[in-house]
Structure 1
Amino acid sequence: MTYLQENTFKTSGLNTHIVKTEKFKTVTILFKMLAPLSKDDVTMRSLFPHVLLRGTEKWPKTGELRAYFDELYGATVSADMAKKGENHVITFRLEMANEKYLKDQTPLLEKGISLLADLLFHPYLEEGVFSKLYVDQEKRTLKQRIQAVYDDKMRYSNLRLVQEMCKGEPYALHVHGEMDDLDAITESTLYEAYKHALHSDQLDLYVVGDVDEQDIKRMVTEYFKTNDREPVKKDADSSRSHVEPKEVIDEEDVKQGKLNIGFRTHTTIADQDYPALHLFNGLFGGFSHSKLFINVREKASLAYYAVSRLESFKGLMMVMSGIEVANYHQAVDIIKEQFEAMQKGDFTDEAIEQTKAVVKNQLLETIDTPYGTAEYLYQHAVIPTGETLDSFLEALERVTKEDMIKVGQKIEWDTTYFLKGTEGAS
């Protein structure tokens, strides 16, 4: 069966992806801007989207803009940032009721698309640049957002792992930018960064819902005036070819130690053995039947949590666990044992089949929401693989134990990072 049907058309500088489906009573629209990660502009790229959402030429005051959203049957708009390998992605997300299900046939979709275009292309300006008030307020909010990562020790330890493992690589940059770079940003430099992004980023628009494709094409052509641009140069993986394992230990006033381990998989979403890696990670630490969960958390009672996840564009696998400080060496040893067991093929055919089933269910759950649908499809706009959900699920089914061993033997243990408390044994 075909799980996802996507129709794409291109206008100058913009790829529009339409997923026509009757599964949802809403229409979800995502506008995505992609550029290479760079310290020079990552902080500004994380700031200007929030300034854009404060006001437009037509609705200069934030309160007026919010009132207009309420008029559109409670439509909502938000912005967030993500890293896809060495790329920085800005996402604007608009969700609104589908007018087909409203009693009065108001042209809600067109109003929503028009408003999103106004937010993106016609921001509220003062003397030709962003409003100083809005920029200052959003700088304060972004500082809080960055600080929140440092306050949440689970997120902080993962950030520190990435900073140490990928030192000198763009991926080491935090998705929200750097606190130290915020003060120097002015409304003028921010406006220039916004204009540069709008004219050079890879732009993708996703529309998910029960919509008329011809209507969407007309509206996009009318409201989204974008310019032609050179394709954004994207590298799926800039990892070093061989790594020497290293250990980094930080001390802070924390009750629970955070043990994070980074691996170089040398396999990305663009590679043929990626389905095998997906299953390797799932069985290693991705699910409740995984080796880390059963052996580190359940049997040895060494961890409050122990999971692994993939960064599919950068070719990384990361283990995250919370442990007692005194258990550090024992926890590292048992994680190493389980990793080496995976590389040797110390797992059953039943475990492989169970992992295939769980991965399939997880993917189908992802596309059970409009946002998840768009996000899944967007992976293949970042790195065009020609893969569909159907072909990926078929590829998963074909993966053998030998395939998993082979992809596992390419994986290298890179960095062990431990955030330990100032008290307790080391």
Structure 2
Amino acid sequence: MDLHSNVPIHVMPTDKFKTTTIAFKFMAPLDIETMTARSLLSKMLVRVTEKYPTDKAFNQHLSYLYGAYLNSNVSKFKDCHVITISLEIVNERYLPDELSLVDEGIQLLKEVILNPLVQNQQFDETFLEQEKRLLQNKLIAIEDNKTQLSYLQLLKYMFGDQPYRYPAVGQLEQLEHITAQSLYHTYQNMLSHDNCSIYVVGNVDKDYISAKLADTFNVQSFTYRPSQDNYPINPQQAVNEVVETADVDQTKLNMGFRFPTQYGATDYPALIVFNMMFGADPSSVLFSEVREKQSLAYSIHSQIDGKNGYLFVLSGVSSDAYEAAKNTIIAAFEQFKIGNFTDEKMALAKKIILSHRKELKDRPKQMIELMHNQILIEDPQSEADFIAGIEAVTKADIQALCQHAQLDTIYIMTKAVNEDA
């Protein structure tokens, strides 16, 4: 069995690390009908294999490979659901013996991806039940965590029936329908239809490891074309405000914005700089105004999904002050629309962004994410291009971007008023 052809291999040779990281990313369309099964599959693949059919056998082999670390996770990427399987292994240059760890690591990944523990076209029932229980506990914990739940509720009201509203790990109600046999079909579907790309970061010979991976997995290049989000942005549209009650100590006040830009667009750097000034850092306006000056929030920050042009403000505020906090956040955003912010604040934001970017270069997995983002654009962006893009952002750029942005949804989770009091 071969992987679906059309798989690009990206290698970043560096002597910064004493480990080599190899990551496979399998991308399928975001679909609520498949997300939960794919989430389970990601865990089953790194649990046991045909050659290592027990936890003990698998762990012994990882120990033999000098404590190699194998991991899997799922995530949302633009319009895709992504299964990431990554292996972190000690670089053989630092070992006293002749063991070719890179080759051994590639063979292990081949075993994990192409030879899972399958009999009669179904996964092992016992391991599947264990992984289903673990995922069930994870999904219940998300529902019990009011901060996470309130964020999911914001997505629910902002995106309606779109699959983006669901967490990548899946849904509780989908779990019971997944069987050992249906999961095998999910696996076959992944191998046959997913877009896949491979990333390597470490002190390696680029040509050698590329050829080795291509030979082991029969890979060729593919062209990924993300679907375009046709959601019309209308800054004048009425905001969808939802208030729900729950047993919470503090009110969760969340907001969702849509911006007319996305990763790769010429005005995308303006969104990064704006987000840093608005709420992504303790130096930001939301932190200083809402939390420090007015003491309205216990916690507040903004974050972006730059691949789609979304910005979310997430906060925990005093139950008797959520109206004041909401108005303060909106007022702060209005100030950016009229360009009421200083050049000093903008310079500081740029400095923080470039410092964070530099830190990413110290983490192999973050470097892989940066490489993976490049598939969204036709011409790869160099580090120099990124820095130049951030430094070139002007006050007018941020002002124009905010003027064309839409505050889409406000979601408030607060405690019920005691009518007997």
TM score, norm. by length of structure 2: 0.95
Cα pair 2:301 2:315 within 8 Å, conserved = yes
What pairs up with 1:75-154 in 2 under 5 angstroms? Answer: 75-154=68-147
SS in 2 for 1:41: helix
The whole-number CA distance in structure 2 between the counterparts of 1:218 and 1:39 is: 36
1:240 aligned to which of 232, 243, 254: 232
Amino acid in the other structure paired with 2:283: H
State which drifts further: 231-240 or 83-92: 231-240
The whole-number CA distance in structure 2 between the counterparts of 1:270 and 1:313 is: 8
Cα pair 2:70 2:85 within 8 Å, conserved = yes
Amino acid in the other structure paired with 1:360: L
1:371 equivalent in structure 2 = 365
1:347 equivalent in structure 2 = 341
What pairs up with 1:258-273 in 2 under 5 angstroms? Answer: 258-273=252-267
Cα pair 1:297 1:306 within 8 Å, conserved = yes
Shift of 1:419: 1.1
Cα pair 1:236 1:268 within 8 Å, conserved = no
Amino acid in the other structure paired with 2:233: S
Cα pair 2:304 2:311 within 8 Å, conserved = yes
The whole-number CA distance in structure 1 between the counterparts of 2:104 and 2:9 is: 18
Cα pair 1:247 1:415 within 8 Å, conserved = yes
Cα pair 1:37 1:173 within 8 Å, conserved = no
The whole-number CA distance in structure 2 between the counterparts of 1:377 and 1:51 is: 26
Shift of 1:385: 5.0
Describe the shift of the 1:38–1:213 C-alpha distance in structure 2 as closer, same or farther (beyond 3 A).
same
Describe the shift of the 1:265–1:385 C-alpha distance in structure 2 as closer, same or farther (beyond 3 A).
farther
2:49 equivalent in structure 1 = 56
List per-residue Cα deviations over 1:283-331 (Å, max 9, x = no partner). Answer: 1111111110110011001001111111111211000111011111000
Cα pair 1:236 1:314 within 8 Å, conserved = no
Cα pair 1:56 1:118 within 8 Å, conserved = yes
List per-residue Cα deviations over 1:344-389 (Å, max 9, x = no partner). Answer: 1111111111111000001111121111111111111244453222
Moved over 6 A (4+): none
* Residue segments in structure 1 that go unaligned for 5+ positions in a row: 1-10
What pairs up with 1:166-177 in 2 under 5 angstroms? Answer: 166-177=159-170
What pairs up with 1:301-380 in 2 under 5 angstroms? Answer: 301-380=295-374
1:410 equivalent in structure 2 = 404
SS in 2 for 1:387: coil
Describe the shift of the 1:186–1:381 C-alpha distance in structure 2 as closer, same or farther (beyond 3 A).
same
1:390 equivalent in structure 2 = 384
Identity of aligned residues (%): 34
The whole-number CA distance in structure 2 between the counterparts of 1:376 and 1:174 is: 22
1:73 equivalent in structure 2 = 66
SS in 1 for 2:314: strand
1:282 aligned to which of 268, 276, 279: 276
Cα pair 1:44 1:193 within 8 Å, conserved = yes
TM score, norm. by length of structure 1: 0.93
Shift of 1:270: 2.9
